[in-house]
A and B are shown apart, each in its own frame.
Chain A
């Protein structure tokens, strides 16, 4: 979808990843297919070298700040250096949805 493309483009430009996965997880959170509200990204980039996880995630957020202020409701992040990705290309399982967005009382 369009948001997925935007996310992909912005992360590519900001972090020059050697590996990038952008997954729309909205269906797993009660949205219809193509809802594009919940995403998971796997970003492998040299830029993360020497940075603790918090700073890595902040880099990803910075690249997507407009989206996060808007339609992007949740973002799961895996951020590794190419060396880390080579030694461990596994991604932790995503937690099951417990209806979070449905509990929003027209707050957005």
Chain B
């Protein structure tokens, strides 16, 4: 399994550069006005603003760059793992575009680093934890609870047929 992930990382970087198209990130538009505002009361990094973002979708990721073009190896690992499970529909927020959000998300989860993965509004962890969940089967289970069927379940079925 880890060999596949390792290969995916190398592929992912190349593929991300080739693929055109708009990034999924929506936080950039939200935080664009008044850049340099404090994180409190209504700013893009406030608790309320972050709360809204993490509840927007069953799968929300705060990362550096976008799924099409991750700008950090750890963020890319999250994108690749989700891709392996066939999860392409999710909200991704590029914290490099929004310093208030970048600090706000760390305050919200009391977690010091990016990327951060939220499932059903709940903070799940960073890239290390997601990788663990991927390797031990927990991620398939968590996705199932969200009504998302992991592509790996179908992949396994194909393998059984051979």
Contacts and interface: CB of A to CB of B under 8 A. Distances in A.
Interface of A: 29, 53-54, 57-58, 61, 65, 68-69, 74-78, 92-101, 103-105, 107
B128 A54 contact: no
Contacts of B113: 68, 74-75
B124 interface: yes
Interface in B113-134: 113, 123-129, 131-133
Interface of B: 2, 6, 9-10, 13, 64-65, 70-77, 96, 99, 102, 110-113, 123-129, 131-133, 135
Contacts of B129: 53-54, 57
B2 A93 contact: yes
Contacts of A103: 64-65, 71-72, 96
A55 B7 CA distance: 30
A34 to B, nearest CB: 20
B9 A107 contact: no
A86 B162 CA distance: 35
A53 B96 CA distance: 27
Contact of A97 (B10, B72, B124, B125): B72
Question: At the interface, is chain A mostly helix, strand, loop or mixed?
Answer: mixed
B35 to A, nearest CB: 11
A69 B112 contact: yes
Nearest to B69: A98
B102 A61 contact: no
A98 B77 CA distance: 11
B64 A96 contact: no
A57 B70 contact: no
What 7 A-B pairs come out closest when comparing CB atoms?
A: A100-B72, A95-B73, A68-B112, A95-B77, A103-B71, A97-B73, A53-B129
Contact of A98 (B65, B126, B132, B135): B65
B154 to A, nearest CB: 24
Given A54-B123, A61-B112, 15 more contacts: A53-B128, A53-B129, A54-B129, A57-B125, A57-B128, A74-B113, A92-B2, A95-B127, A96-B13, A98-B13, A99-B72, A100-B64, A100-B65, A100-B74, A104-B96
